[in-house]
Amino acid sequence: MLETAVRLMQSGVTPSVSDVAEAAEVSRATAYRYFPSQAAMIQAAVDEALGPIFGWASASRDAERRVLELIAFSYPRMAQYEATHRAALLLALRQWAERRAGTLGTEAPIVRGNRKALLRNALAPLQGTVSGQAFDKVEQSLSLIFGIEAIIVLRDIWGLDGEEAREVAVWAAHALVRTAIVEAAAGDVVSPAQGSSENAASRPRRKSSDAAVRQAR
């Protein structure tokens, strides 16, 4: 049934549990025993599509290299199952709209967030090198270029193919991680007490950081 669900999603369909049961030639009762809701079924299909990515590991102790390795490893797989990920995103957006309208009912929400653990693993060498706040910021920034949303933007809006999209993601990841490392080396790490405010004391550090970034380039 899981293979059938993935096959239907890859064809551009967001199937219901009943659709999968019919296509797999099993009873609805059997299908609902394995997948109590459409969200549970699509969640399982996405996990199946991501498969090998969950087992990704790197022997490198360099955060920048690890992030680039993760993107190089993951993007082809995400592109291969792009339709499946789009179907999951479509369901998540529908549930969001129904939740706001108060019409979602008891349907279990689809859970999205696999990228958080993967990015945290890739960035592990940065811990202790940059502040906790800076680490969170890098992790959150990378989540904007690592996932189906980034692929959709690069393919649908910019018309890039899978390899071109991967190259853009690698370039952006390099810039983000390198900036965090340079800023940490320059002492331009904003403490939690400072928040996001720009005061006179912080401006000189920002200028020195900008110079360091230019030197790194």
Tokens at 91, concatenated: 């369901």
Confidence band, pLDDT 50/70/90 cuts, at residue 107: confident
Largest CA distance in the chain: 70
Whole-model pTM? 0.79
Cα→Cα distances 170→8, 164, 178, 198, Å: 31, 10, 12, 30
211 versus 97: the higher-pLDDT residue is 97
- As its CATH architecture, domain 2-191+198-216 has Orthogonal Bundle (1.10)
pLDDT of residue 190: 42
Residue 159 vs residues 44, 73, 74, 77, 164: alpha-carbon distances, Å: 30, 22, 20, 19, 9
Return mean pLDDT, the chain. 86
